[in-house]
Amino acid sequence: MPIHELPPQLINQIAAGEVVERPASVVKELLENSLDAGARRIQLDVEQGGARRIRVRDDGCGIPRDQLCLALSRHATSKIASLDDLERVGSLGFRGEALPSIASVSRLTLTSAVAGEDSGWALQGDGGDRFEAPEPAPHPVGTTIDVRELFFNVPARRKFLRTERTEYGHLEEVVRRLALSRFDVGFDLNHNRKSTLRLPAAEDAATRDRRVGQICGEAFLEQAAFMEQEGAGLRLWGWMGLPTFSRSQADLQYFYVNGRMVRDRLVTHAVRQAYQDVLYHGRHPAYVLFLELDPALVDVNAHPAKHEVRFRESRLVHDFLFRSLHRALGELRPGASSAPTG
Ligand code: ADP
Ligand code: MG
């Protein structure tokens, strides 16, 4: 075969292979877009584990009519414009790949309205890369993305979908992770028209606690301590499970770097070391922790779907995590705070 350029739809479908593995990955991308758009309330309606339908409605800034088509084009983004921006990116997305990829493997309708326009506009796609002109559609300020029949045109992918229950489990876990990263945003999740998660925006410590309890279980909340430590431009805060709440699996570990959930070796190692003296061998700690630092000191431009980050000063971060958690754990030991010092 002579060398030839691939048609855009195929390019998008190939990219979708990386970004869109299953319904849960669609939900991740759509929710991240809603959060980047400044949404305060997000409603998700999914059917059949997301395979049949995923609809995300938000009250974010919306997309103006003349940019709707661009939102579905490859490498088109409103989030960065230069390498400089990339180095200090604060948004969850920036690649401009998710929407065109999702649109290439589903039947997608994008409806959006911005403040000041007198109507919303809708754009429909059927897995191709061409879209008709937007049509007027009533919509409050914000965006609704409706993704139906995921992988209808990629049978090989559709075959890899697991049972409804399994797919839904993955999808709900994505919602939980993101809901823990933004207490100030309300999330409502419905599956097959039944409400499965109702998380009102948290304004105070009590509602934040309630959300942690809803997501991680009341038992965790009862046996976790709230911690906060600052130093060297780094801040760590969140809920750390007491040694009495150890787990046989590493399944209750939520760690966020500047609001982005990560699974990072360096982080896991530092946490494990901090808990080393207080946990039995083979037990795992449970935690919901947030690390905040200058965005210029972390590189989030790793693989699109992986949760890796690269710290510019990894030693410093490791030591800070270890010391903060170790100290907090020490203070938790009964009597430690009242023990005489020196
Ligand atoms: P990225 O998020 O990497 O920029 P996407 O393909 O996910 O790329 O989205 C493309 C663009 O569409 C975004 O940069 C944003 O401007 C717009 N967009 C997507 N979803 C929303 C939304 N829910 N509300 C407002 N704008 C959105
Ligand atoms: Mg995005």
Distance CA 39, CA 57 (A): 9
Is 0.95 surpassed by the pTM of this model?
no
The Å distance, Cα 244 to ligand 1 centre, comes to 43
CATH code given to domain 8-199: 3.30.565.10
Q: Which ligand is closest to the CA of 94, given by its number?
A: 1
The Å distance, Cα 164 to ligand 1 centre, comes to 28
Distance CA 271, CA 243 (A): 13
Q: Which ligand is closest to the CA of 12, given by its number?
A: 1
Distance CA 287, CA 255 (A): 8
Distance CA 172, CA 157 (A): 21
Q: Which atom of ligand 1 lies at the shortest distance from residue 56's CA?
A: 23
CATH topology of domain 217-332: Ribosomal Protein S5; domain 2 (3.30.230)
Domain-wise residue ranges, the chain? 8-199, 217-332
Q: Say if ligand 1 is within 6 A of residue 94 CB.
A: yes
Contacts of 99 (CB under 8 A, 6+ apart): 29, 33, 71, 72, 110, 145
Distance CA 23, CA 37 (A): 21
Q: What is the pLDDT along the chain (342 residues), one digit of tens a residue?
A: 999 999 888 888 888 778 899 999 999 999 999 999 999 999 999 999 999 999 999 999 999 999 999 999 888 899 888 888 877 777 888 888 899 999 999 999 999 999 998 899 999 999 887 788 899 999 999 999 999 999 999 998 999 999 999 999 999 999 999 999 999 999 999 999 999 999 999 889 999 999 999 999 999 999 999 999 999 899 999 999 999 998 999 889 999 999 989 988 999 999 999 999 899 888 999 999 999 999 888 887 666 556 778 898 999 999 999 999 999 998 876 444 433 433
Q: Say if ligand 1 is within 6 A of residue 19 CB.
A: no
Strand partners, 137: 120
The Å distance, Cα 123 to ligand 1 centre, comes to 14
